[in-house]
Amino acid sequence: MSEKLVKALYEGVVTIVFEKIDTKEIRIMPCTLNKDFHKQTIEIKNLSAMDTIVCYALDKLAWRDVRINTIKDWYEGYPKEI
């Protein structure tokens, strides 16, 4: 999962659905690693050793990290309307 997710993050916007560690609340976060959306470049090298994925949260305009084991789903694009 990590490799495809990181590739999609570099290509554009991805929505990650995950469980917050402290509250157990489900968070739906549009995010990216595409440099067209932010000014800082992050290079991820060793995907197999990663516990978290760092990405730029478009709804917060800030960097966030998500533990891989809390990710419930992810898909390309902005959050789907409910």
Whether pLDDT at 81 is above 80: no
Domain that holds residue 49: 2-76
| Residue 22, domain CATH | 2.30.30
Helices (H) and strands (E) in the chain, counts: 1, 5
In a domain, 68, yes or no: yes
* Mean pLDDT confidence for 52-63: 93
In a domain, 35, yes or no: yes
Predicted confidence at residue 50, as pLDDT, reads 76
Mean pLDDT of the chain: 88
Whether pLDDT at 42 is above 70: no
Whether pLDDT at 14 is above 60: yes
In a domain, 82, yes or no: no
* Mean pLDDT confidence for 69-81: 93
Q: What are phi and psi of 52, to 5 degrees?
A: -130, 160
* Mean pLDDT confidence for 12-18: 97
In a domain, 39, yes or no: yes
Split into its structural domains, the chain has a count of 1
What does the alpha-carbon distance between residue 32 and residue 13 come to, in Å, rounded to a whole number?
5
